[in-house]
Structure 1
Amino acid sequence: MTETRENRIKRMKMRSMRRGIKEMDLILSAYADRNLDGMNDAGLDLYDSLLHENDQDLYQWVTGQVASPEPYAELISDISQTFQK
């Protein structure tokens, strides 16, 4: 059975909100709430892939402590800007 777009976005919002470390819960849930509904399928695919990354790595990428891997560079930059607002 194929996941509907609506269910996929709900699933990703839930995964964004329940990460493991509170900082990433706050950062990713804010980003997901503001952006997932407007993303195209390719953007959702990339974000879904990002959700499989380790929280400690994500936190370092979002805060600029470590450069993010190329496939995620633009997405991480967008998340960082949301976080700083």
Structure 2
Amino acid sequence: MAEDRETRLRRLKIRSMRRGTKEMDIILMRYFGARHEAMEEAALDRYEALLEESDQDLYAWVSGQAAPPSRHEAMVADIRAVLPAAE
């Protein structure tokens, strides 16, 4: 049975806030909170793929310490756009 949108959003919200590192919990919770309602299925698929990456890699990409792989460039750029400049 296919997962309905509300169930998927709840699952992704939990995955966003239980990453393992507090920094990524905060970053991804803020991002998902700001964007989830407007995300279409394809964007949710890309976000879910991003969540499969390690926290260390994600933090390096979001903080600009390393370039993300091309498959995640647009999503990482959008995460950076949502975050306050201090992060």
TM range (shorter): over 0.9
CA distance in 1, matches of 2:11, 2:37: 12
- Residues 51-79 of structure 1, C-alpha deviation per residue, up to 9 Å, x if partnerless? 11000000000000000000110110110
Aligned-pair identity (%): 48
In the other structure, the counterpart of 2:9 is: 9
Q: How many residues get paired?
A: 85
Cα RMSD, aligned residues only: 0.9
Listed as ranges, the gaps of 5+ residues in structure 1 are none
User: Given residue 23 of structure 1, which amino acid in structure 2 is its aligned partner?
Assistant: E
Per-residue deviation at 1:84? 2.5
1:16-41 C-alpha deviation (Å, 9 max, x unpaired) = 01100000000000000110111111
Q: Which residue of the partner structure matches residue 64 of structure 1?
A: 64
Find the aligned partners of 1:47 and 1:36 in 2 and give their Cα distance: 10
TM-score (norm 2): 0.94
**Structure 1 CA distance, aligned partners of 2:11 and 2:58?**
19
Tell me, in whole angstroms, the C-alpha distance in 1 between the residues paired with 2:84 and 2:63. Answer: 9
Counterparts in 2 of 1:48-59, with a 5 A limit? 48-59=48-59
Amino acid at match of 2:74: E
Q: Give the gaps of 5 or more residues in structure 2.
A: none
Distance, in Å, in 2 between the alignment partners of 1:36 and 1:69 is: 22
Alpha-carbon distance between aligned partners in 1 of 2:76 and 2:39, rounded to the nearest angstrom: 15
